Amino acid sequence: MAVLQDRRLLITGVLTEGSIAYAVAQRAQEEGAQIVLTGFGRGMRITTRIANRLPDPPDVLELDVTDPAHLEAVATELEQRWGALDGVLHAIAFAPEDALGGEFLATPPESAQTAFMTSAYSLKALAAGLLPLLEKGDHSSIVGLDFDATVAWPAYDWMGVSKAALESVNRYLARDLGPKGVRSNLVSAGPIKTIAAGSIPGFETLAQAWDNQAPMAWNTKDAGPVADACLFLLSGLARGVTGEIVHVDGGYHAMGAPRPPDEPAPEPEPSA
């Protein structure tokens, strides 16, 4: 049987075919899941267009995760459609331009707050808004997309702070949702060339670091390995896993220093 056979999933963050969320949506359908996507504002039209490229084009619901009315409307729609929910992918992050790019000390408080609310608090908001449906699901799972927040990165600034908050939110959700039968986990991905990544000044410098340090080859154009880890956490196979951060980064996070200059870099596999 397929890993996600008949599981009912809500997937946020699909904007391009190269996005991690799109890869999750595609692989989820291949593994037997029923999915619904979300979009918002000008991105809603883009998400709808991209949804039509999936094997079985899903519906797209409007969701601004910072708007309680939107969360309530999505929950009502899913209640009428499925009556329960087995999984949610949180692929939502945003920081204003002045919260990125190396001007950490100059970022105004309202920009830092926007980054936190959209990128970290939204995980709690999404979980709480959909909790009645998740409680009715089968080994229900919330999975969020992360980028290692244990260190400071060049140019990442308040998005890095927000990811650290996201990791903490995940642990508290695991604490409070576990007794209700709902799991919460994060996948900490290596750099993938997405729209979000393109908005980060210095992204290419980050990507180059993986070439110099990751023990396994890392392909910034292939979201497949990250998507497959998300599928595992969304499935019943991970029914005993919660509060976890799964690193899918070619092993970069475990290395203390770049490889010696005379050691050749591993060759990446072709994109899936």
* pLDDT tens sequence across 48-73: 999 999 999 999 999 999 999 999 99
272 inside domain: no
- What is the separation of C-alpha 83 from the centre of its chain, rounded to a whole number of angstroms? 24
Which amino acid appears at position 61 of this protein?
L
The CATH number of residue 200's host domain is: 3.40.50.720
Predicted pLDDT of residue 37: 98
Predicted pLDDT of residue 204: 73
Residue percentage of the chain with pLDDT more than 90: 80
Mean pLDDT is highest, among 202-211, 249-258, 260-269, for 249-258
Predicted pLDDT of residue 196: 61
257 inside domain: no
Neighbours of 76 (CB within 10 A): 11
Average pLDDT over residues 113-136: 98
DSSP secondary structure, 117-142, as one string: IIIIIHHHHHHHHHHHHHHTSSS-EE
Q: What tens digit of pLDDT does each residue of 216-262 get?
A: 989 988 999 999 999 999 999 999 999 999 999 999 999 998 877 76
Residue 135: which domain range? 8-249
189 inside domain: yes
Where in the sequence numbering do the catalytic residues fall?
Answer: 156, 163
263 inside domain: no
3 inside domain: no
218 inside domain: yes
Rounded-to-integer distance, Cα 233 and Cα 168, Å: 18
For residues 16 and 22, is the Cβ–Cβ distance under 8 A? yes
Domain count, the chain: 1
Q: What is the pTM of this model?
A: 0.93
Name the token pair of 203.
């992204």
53 inside domain: yes
72 inside domain: yes
